[in-house]
Structure 1
Amino acid sequence: MSEYSEQQITEWGQQNEEQRFDLFLGLAVKHKQVWALSDDQGCLIVDSDGEQLLPVWPLEVFAKAASVEEWQGLEPLAISLEDWEQKWLPGMENDVIDVAVFPDLEGSSEVIAAEELAVHLKLQKKKAPIA
């Protein structure tokens, strides 16, 4: 059972892009992990008008909910925050892959460069933890 109620999860998923971005930062730092979708071929990378994006979520429940339609069959992949910051973000920056932060079920998300997201996460760690 999740430490968050179904109502809370539903409300979070319905917030706007900016609110979900802030929530992603808080939950990622609190739980020390982020979630992507993957299969035996690797992680899901989306092409959006020629821009390569890696969608990520703050909790497994959101990644699981996104594994429908064209993403059906993909499984949630937990990435430790340490690996995310030390390996994934620098690698994505080198490969020019941006981050689609906490997409909603329509695919709407805040898109940010990996290097910028790393800065936001460092700042979030200095703030009070999310409830």
Structure 2
Amino acid sequence: MSDYSAEKIQGWAQLDDEPRFEAFLGLVVKHKEVWALSDDEGCLMVAMEDENCLPLWPLEIYAQQAVAEEWEGFSPLKITLDNFYENWAPGMSGDEIAAAVFPNDEGSCTVLDSEELAVTLKLQAKKAPIA
């Protein structure tokens, strides 16, 4: 993504879970999209903290890196924020699929209910987005 330097992109990815989660919120609100991975059979799901989770990234570059590093055969899938609010969050919640937010190279991330993530993103939208 040309909006940010390689150093900034790498810097966000190397943050600890909580500040990386905060960066995710700001970036998603600013760009009004979230990224998952999909293939011909559907979206990538992972088991984390005894839950089925959908990994989500704030920028396409992170989803591309995840494909290159760990999930060959998948492709980045853009989900608009409105679509996430209206369809994905309720559907994930109904299917008991949590959100694995902005996993780093080691797979460490914030895991939370998709509806809780949607509410948190809406609250973030009322604040100033990330620069």
CA shift, 1:79, in A, is: 0.5
Matches within 5 A, 1:1-131: 2-48=2-48, 50-68=50-68, 70-131=70-131
Q: Which amino acid aligns with 2:18?
A: E
Q: Which amino acid aligns with 1:7?
A: E
Gaps of 5+ in 1: none
CA shift, 1:48, in A, is: 2.9
Deviation per CA, 1:61-96, whole angstroms, max 9, x where unpaired?
001111145511211110000001110000001110
Q: Which amino acid aligns with 1:76?
A: P
Q: For the Cα contact (< 8 Å) 1:65–1:105, is it kept in 2? A: no
Gaps of 5+ in 2: none
How far apart, CA to CA, are the structure 2 residues paired with 1:8 and 1:49?
Answer: 29
How far apart, CA to CA, are the structure 1 residues paired with 2:104 and 2:63?
Answer: 10
Q: For the Cα contact (< 8 Å) 1:38–1:76, is it kept in 2? A: yes
Q: Which amino acid aligns with 2:62?
A: F
Give the CA RMSD over aligned residues: 1.2
Deviation per CA, 1:96-122, whole angstroms, max 9, x where unpaired?
000000000111100011111111011
How far apart, CA to CA, are the structure 2 residues paired with 1:11 and 1:51?
Answer: 28
Q: TM-score scaled by structure 2?
A: 0.95
Q: Which amino acid aligns with 2:84?
A: W
How far apart, CA to CA, are the structure 1 residues paired with 2:70 and 2:28?
Answer: 26
Percent identity over the alignment is 57
Q: TM-score scaled by structure 1?
A: 0.95
Of 49-58 and 11-20, the range deviating more from structure 2: 49-58
Aligned residues: 131
